Amino acid sequence: MLEIRNITKTFFPGTVNEVRALRGVTLTIEDGCFAAIIGTNGSGKSTLLNAVAGTFLPDEGSVFIDGTDITHWPEHKRARLVGRVFQNPFAGTAAEMTIAENIAIAMKRGKSRGVGQALSRSVRDEIADKVRALNMGLENRLDNPIGTLSGGQRQALTLLMATWVRPKLLLLDEHTAALDPKSAAQVAALTSEIIARDKLTVLMVTHSMQQAVQMPGRVVMMHAGNVVEDYAGERKKGLRIADLMRAFDRVRRRDLFDAAVANIVVPQYA
Amino acid sequence: MTLVVGAFTMGLILSLLALGMFISFRVLRFCDITVDGSLALGAATTAVLLSAGVPPWAASLGGFAAGFLAGFTTGILHTFFKVQELLSGILVMTALYSVNLRVMGKSNVPLIDTPTLADLPEKLVKKLAGGDSVSIAGWPVPARDVAMLATVTLLVFATALLLQLFLKTNLGTTMRAAGENPQMIRAQGVDNRWMQVFGLAVSNALVGLSGAMLAQYQGFADVQMGIGMMVWGLASIIIGDALIGKNARGTGLLIVGAIMGTILFRLLIAIALRWGLNPNDLKLVTALFVFVALVVPTFAAKLGIRIFGGRRNA
Amino acid sequence: MNITQKESNGILEMGLSGRLDAASSDFFYNAVAANIREGRQKIRVDASGLEYLSSAGLRSLLRSHRELSGVGGSFAIIRASDFVVKTLSMSGFDSLLALETDAEKQAEESPAEEGGAKVRHEEGIRLELYELDADASMEAQLCGGWKSWTAPEEGMTARVPLGSDCVALGIGAPGEDYASVREGLGDFLAAAGCAAWMPPGDSGTPDYLVQEGRFTPEVIALSAIRGSGEFSHLLRFQPEKEGAVLSLHALAAKTLAATKRTSTAFTALVEVGGLVGVSTIRSPGLIADGKAAEFPSVRDWLSFTGERVHEGALALLVGFVDASGSAANAAFLPEPPSTKGVRLHVHAAVFPFHPLANGIINMAESVAQLFSGAEPLALLHLVEDDRPTVGLGCSTFVRGAVWISGVNFTKGTNS
Ligand SMILES: Nc1ncnc2c1ncn2[C@@H]1O[C@H](COP(=O)(O)OP(=O)(O)OP(=O)(O)O)[C@@H](O)[C@H]1O
Ligand SMILES: [Mg+2]
């Protein structure tokens, strides 16, 4: 279970460039819950994921996974509990290393790495089996550099890598956004499949309303560093794209409703 | 012929340097300048140990260990104290100049009549040849030189093999990935900083070993002997790449390329010197060569030369 | 496919040349629809240049015919060549064919329809004012005792029936008693037995009730104005110059001028130029302290359109205007920043656009038709935004029909 308590993060504090990216976000994701985060550009979605992954430490607030306070854990230590897929297909793999080598590295996530052979027979077989299950024909290309693959193939492999060792929490940051529509759909389907199969706890940032409505069991909407909507349970079941559009519209309107407007409008509302 | 054997020996000794730099520049994609200092450090340590009567294998290991420490320091400066890549190398290299003087107590330690790693092979060669010199292709070559050649060949071969095996281990693959994509490796639960520190340490250890062999081969250790070595190593790697072609993948080929590049480079230099190139101009010419390769990217691209092993992801 | 248009004696002649088939039928239909929207509702299609007529083309002719019949206009095909006549009669649509003499006869009749209207041209807008019943007037009850933005109490509410005999607006919701509506109160309007209100919360779309048989819509209101009686005037307006619009404040002034009264009620069906307004997003029944009206907490209660919205849609307006200066009415009729003593309270229910017939049209029929044809998209309490430079001003309308009547305000009883 992931528990985010009142996290704030300000970039360039005290300067003209000050950005209050997170303004006290509190969010609890139950075990086995697949939650999507949607929100306008710059609303702090990635920042929230980064705060959970430990890319930086939050200014205030804390993060718990299964009751353990990981607020001050460095990124690599959190990786024992957290699997990650980034938006950029280049970010999650080492392009010049082979598919097999990349996967072998992921197989050791959170474990000690000795001077044993990375790609022993048994490891190779295991890799080939799981890669074959992707049905992308990649099992014959295990010794090709992963950089020679398409973005979609790379993202599929990154997803496989992030979940090879079952993570307590899987973070997906717009992991289909950089792909063409067909590959995006493919990777999205694979994502749903893996998550359902392994009953993973997931936090997924997406810009696709379609994905937000179809894939997860919960949708959290962020705006200006805050959580502004939280569709869970029954409320999520009835959620349609039009509802999300309206919610976006609402937060946008809320922004346009400033103090000057209030001064004028409130006396006219009788 | 002595000249050729000398060039080969020198080339092989320096290919230890090139292998070390292969780790920092190619695997870690780290522009490490410590090399100039750690080569001299390795030489100085070994020379002093030899003079003190330490057996040659232990003295050489001492050079290796000293280099390890130097690289370790550079790594720590960069990763934990956030000193810039180049600057951390420069700091350690500069400091090492004084350290080397301290180690040696003076600026030059001659090794006359001290044993070297080549002593045992020398006896063997003499026994086999039945004299003080060996005839190679009709040319007489001193048995000592042949022995030295054999020793470093063995050493380089062993080192290259070990390195290649290491890069295929779990730790080795992780280190390679850390060099290419630190973000990824952190997401895989590894502190990429320690990977960098460890890699730099091993890299400079090999450089130190190269210094150790150089001291034994030349018969002295000098505080100046490291100057320009990084550029030479770089030139070797560049030539090695041109030799194996830019599409070469796989660490094995790259390692072989680095070794071949170094040897070829020494041969070229030997020939140039023979043709009357002023030895004082040697470093200038080398620097020019590297400069051109670095600064003219189109030129580099045409030759298929890469200085670093590709892009490093943030 | 090429279309030329010429208008004479209120009849628009659209000359078609080329092929009217699947590729061009939409183009043709959209041209017809645009004409209908702009009030050109007697259309003749000159088919002499037509080279080919496919089933898709035939369908677009039929659709045009249906659309125009719906608004009381007329549609006919003239100068049809033999093959067009043949195609039409073979498919049983020869009723669309008009003899030229017919068309001319209708042309002569047409000016008569303007009978009784005072026509004026103002700032690019053509205004027709019809007198329906000079003696008609309305009685308007001011219902409910709630003072805006305060925590409401049970005794303040009023039960407001919304039958076909009245027009009304306010804050309320249908329900048994106050307790049942306390959390669901929102802006509402009603005319001709059709009521729409905006439930606060997620959905963002209004709900509606229509009088049927013995069922009469009714709301429990915190505050409401309910007017009953007949309308005395009908104002029709439409632009003559591209981009000319009638503002809400100008409209209010015209109701006062038409009736020569200091207080008026009006109901309107208008094509929207842009609406500026607010709507309740949290039931005022939940207000617990005086903070609701303060910024920023007011944003939890009220949503502001933030821009001019719903351009091109059809809006049903219910409004009350008061220039009498009476203090008793002030609580029910807020004063916009720039109207100088003219108070007004206007609610707008927004529907997808559909054209209206020209001339005198019946309010009850038009509103009933509106509610039976589509569901309301939004419901707003219209306001003026007079912020310097960035202000949105007040709502504007492109064309439409406004039923107007003088009104006497009386204090209603609470439930
Ligand atoms: N490392 C950083 N340094 C400075 N500012 C940052 C950094 N990361 C994010 N920001 C700023 O914080 C704000 C939130 O950014 P974030 O990337 O979290 O938004 P997002 O919701 O993920 O948007 P998008 O949909 O565009 O990805 C932005 O204004 C961004 O410019
Ligand atoms: Mg983002």
Distance (Å, rounded) from C-alpha B232 to C-alpha B291? 12
B1 has a pLDDT exceeding 80: no
**Contact between chains at B169 and A97 (C-beta distance less than 8 A):** no
Position C139 pLDDT exceeds 60: yes
Backbone angles phi, psi at B229, to 5 degrees: -65, -35
Sign of CA dihedral C268, C272, C273, C277: positive
Measured CA to CA, the distance from residue C196 to residue C169 in angstroms comes to 10
Chains in touch with B (≥3 Cβ pairs < 8 A): A
Q: For B165-174, B240-249, C168-177, C332-341, which range has the lowest pLDDT when averaged over its residues? A: B240-249
Q: Quick one: C395 and C255 in the same domain?
A: yes
The full set of domains in chain A, from first to last, is 2-241 (3.40.50.300)
- The 10s digit of each residue's pLDDT in B175-185 is 999 999 999 99
pLDDT over 70 percentage in chain C: 95
Which whole number is the average pLDDT over A63-68?
94
pLDDT at site B305: 54
Within 8 A by CB and 6+ apart from A4, the residues are A25, A26, A27, A28, A48, A51, A52, A61, A63
* Count of the separate structural domains present in chain C: 2
Tell me, what CATH number does C71's domain have? 3.30.750.24
Q: Are residues C168 and C39 in the same domain?
A: no
| Interatomic CA distance for residues A31 and A200, integer angstroms | 8
At B142 the pLDDT is 82
Tell me, using a 6 A CB cutoff, whether residue A45 lines ligand 1. yes
Residues C45, C66 within the same domain: yes
Determine the pLDDT at residue B160.
Answer: 93
Q: Does B94 touch chain A (CB under 8 A)?
A: no
A10 lines ligand 1 (CB under 6 A): no
Instruction: Indicate whether C179 and C87 sit together in one domain.
Output: no
**What is the mean predicted confidence (pLDDT) over A225-230?**
92
| Ligand sitting nearest the alpha carbon of A18 | 1
Please report which ligand is nearest the Cα atom of A13.
1
Of residues B132 and A216, the one with the higher pLDDT is: A216
**A168 — pLDDT class (breaks 50, 70, 90):** very high
Minimum mean pLDDT range among B116-125, C41-50, C387-396, C398-407 = B116-125
Query: How far, in Å, from the CA of A41 to the mean position of ligand 1?
Result: 8
Distance from C-alpha of C341 to C-alpha of C325, rounded to nearest angstrom: 7
> Given this model, what pLDDT does residue C414 score?
61
* A117 touches B: beta carbon within 8 Å: yes
Identify the H or E element spanning C76: strand C74-78
Specify the pTM. Answer: 0.79
In percent, the amount of chain A with pLDDT more than 90 equals: 74
Name every chain B residue with its beta carbon within 8 A of the beta carbon of A84. 187
Contact indicator for C322, C343 with CB cutoff of 8 Å: yes
Cα(A103)–Cα(A119) distance, rounded to whole angstroms?
A: 10
What pLDDT score does C106 carry? Answer: 55
| Burial (Cβ within 10 Å: 0-12, 13-18, ≥19) of residue B131 | exposed
Residues 208-227 of C with CB under 8 A from A: 223
Spell out the residues 6+ positions from residue C73 whose beta carbon is closer than 8 angstroms to its own: C36, C41, C42, C43, C357, C358
Looking at the complex, report in whole angstroms how far the Cα of residue B174 sits from the nearest Cα belonging to chain A.
Answer: 6
Cα A226 to averaged position of ligand 2 atoms, centre (Å): 14
For residue C399, report the distance from its CA to the centre of ligand 1, in Å: 46
Q: How many Å lie between the centroid of ligand 1 and the Cα of residue C245? A: 43
Sign, Cα dihedral of B166, B169, B171, B176: positive
pLDDT of C176 higher than 60 = yes
User: pLDDT tens digits, residue range C322-344?
Assistant: 999 888 888 899 999 998 889 99
Mean pLDDT of B246-272: 80
Tell me if residue B276 falls in helix, strand or coil: coil
- DSSP structural state of residue B27: I
Q: What is the pLDDT of residue C405?
A: 96
Domain boundary among C81, C109, C137: C109
Q: Mean per-residue pLDDT for B190-211?
A: 94
- pLDDT at position C323 is 94
Q: Which ligand is nearest to the CA of A41?
A: 1
Q: Report pLDDT digits (tens) over B18-58.
A: 999 999 988 999 999 999 999 999 999 999 999 998 999 99
Q: Mean pLDDT throughout C51-80? A: 89
Contact A95 B192 (CB under 8 A): no
Using 50, 70 and 90 to split pLDDT, how confident is the model at C112? very low
Ligand 1: atom nearest CA of A225 is 14
Q: Any idea which of A234-238, B239-243, B292-296 has the lowest mean pLDDT?
A: B292-296
Contact C384 A257 (CB under 8 A): no
Kindly report, residue by residue over C1-25, the tens digit of the pLDDT. 899 999 988 899 999 999 999 999 9
| B251 CA: distance to closest CA in chain A (Å) | 10
Which ligand sits nearest to residue A21's alpha carbon? Answer: 1
Index of the ligand 1 atom closest to the CA of residue A174: 27
Percent of chain C with pLDDT over 90: 62
A157-165 mean pLDDT: 94
Mean pLDDT value across chain A: 92
Nearest CA-CA distance, residue B249 and chain A, Å: 8
- Residue B150 DSSP one-character state: H
Of the two residues A76 and C93, the one the predictor is more confident about is A76
List chains adjacent to chain A, taking adjacency as at least 3 C-beta pairs closer than 8 Å: B, C
For residue A56, give the ligand 1 atom closest to its CA.
1
Shared domain check, C367 and C252: yes
Choose one of C109, C130, C158: the last residue of a domain.
Answer: C109
What DSSP element (H or E) covers A226?
strand A226-231
What is the band of C400 on the pLDDT scale with cuts at 50, 70, 90?
very high
Q: What is the pLDDT of residues C292-325, one digit of tens each?
A: 888 888 988 999 999 999 999 999 999 999 999 8
Domain, as residue range, for C105: 2-109
> Omega of the bond prior to C296 within 30 degrees of 0, cis?
yes
* Tens digits of residue pLDDT in B266-281: 888 888 888 888 888 8
Higher pLDDT, C144 or C267: C267
More confident residue, B252 or C210: C210
Task: Say if residue C64 is in the same domain as residue C140.
Answer: no
**Would you state the structure tokens that stand for residue C148, as one six-digit string?**
């805006």
Same domain, C134 and C82: no
Distance from the Cα of A253 to chain C's closest Cα (Å) equals 6
Closest residue of chain A to B190, computed from CA coordinates? A76
Is A134 within 8 Å of A156 (Cβ atoms)? yes
Least Cα distance to C319 among C340, C344, C295 occurs for C344
Q: Clarify whether residues C277 and C400 are in a common domain.
A: yes
* Nearby residues of B76 by Cβ (< 8 Å), 6 or more positions away: B197
Please give the average per-residue pLDDT across A93-97, as a whole number.
90
pLDDT at res. B120 = 80
Q: Residue B24, CB half-sphere, CA atoms under 13 Å: how many?
A: 31
**Band of residue B314 on the pLDDT scale cut at 50, 70, 90:** very low
Listed in order, strand segments (DSSP E) in C123-262 are: 125-131, 138-143, 158-161, 166-173, 186-191, 194-197, 207-210, 218-229, 233-239, 246-247
User: Tens digit of pLDDT for each residue in B211-237?
Assistant: 999 999 988 999 988 888 888 888 888
Instruction: Kindly list the distances between the CA atom of residue B47 and the CA atoms of B145, B146, B153, in Å, as whole numbers in the listed order.
Output: 19, 22, 21
Distance of CA C284 to the CA centre of its chain: 27
pLDDT tens-digit map of B95-126? 999 999 999 898 888 888 788 888 888 888 88
What is the Cα–Cα distance from A105 to A92, expressed in whole angstroms? Answer: 11
Strands (E), C240-393: 246-247, 263-274, 277-280, 302-304, 314-322, 343-351, 378-382
Ligand 1 atom nearest to CA at A47: 18
- Specify which residues C326 forms β-bridges with: none
- Summarize the confidence of residues C44-66 as an average pLDDT: 90
The 3-state DSSP class for residue C295 equals coil
Protein residue with least CA distance to atom 19, ligand 1: A42
Contact A58, A225 (CB under 8 A): no
Cβ-based contacts of A259 with chain C (< 8 Å)? 295-296
The residue whose two tokens read 């020209």 is: C358
B246 has pLDDT over 80: no
- For residues C349 and C210, state if they share a domain: yes
If you ran DSSP here, which 8-state letter would residue A240 be given? -
Task: Check residue C308 and give its pLDDT.
Answer: 94
Q: Note whether C95 and C124 are same-domain residues.
A: no
Distance A45 CA to ligand 2 centre (A): 5
Co-location of C103 and C131 in the same domain: no
| Residues from chain A contacting residue C303 (CB–CB below 8 Å) | 250, 253-254, 257
Q: Is A231 helix (H, G, I), strand (E, B) or coil?
A: strand
**Residue of C171, C222, C299 to mutate for A, most A C-beta atoms under 10 A:** C299
Query: In whole numbers, what is the pLDDT of chain B averaged over residues?
Result: 86
Regarding whether C209 and C90 lie in a shared domain, the answer is no
Q: Is the pLDDT score of B244 beyond 60?
A: yes
Amino acid at B204: N
Q: Is A46 close to ligand 1, i.e. is its CB under 6 Å away?
A: yes
Going by alpha carbons, the residue nearest to atom 28 of ligand 1 is A42
- CATH number 1.10.287 is the correct assignment for the domain at B2-302: no
| Ligand 2 center–CA C26 separation, angstroms | 42
Burial of residue C113, with CB atoms counted within 10 A of its CB: 0-12 exposed, 13-18 middle, 19 or more buried: middle
Domain-terminating residue out of C57, C77, C109: C109
Question: For all residues of chain C together, what is the average pLDDT?
Answer: 89
Q: How many Å is the Cα radius of gyration of chain B?
A: 19
B220 φ, ψ (degrees, to nearest 5): -160, 160
Closest-CA distance, A247 to chain C, in angstroms, reads 8
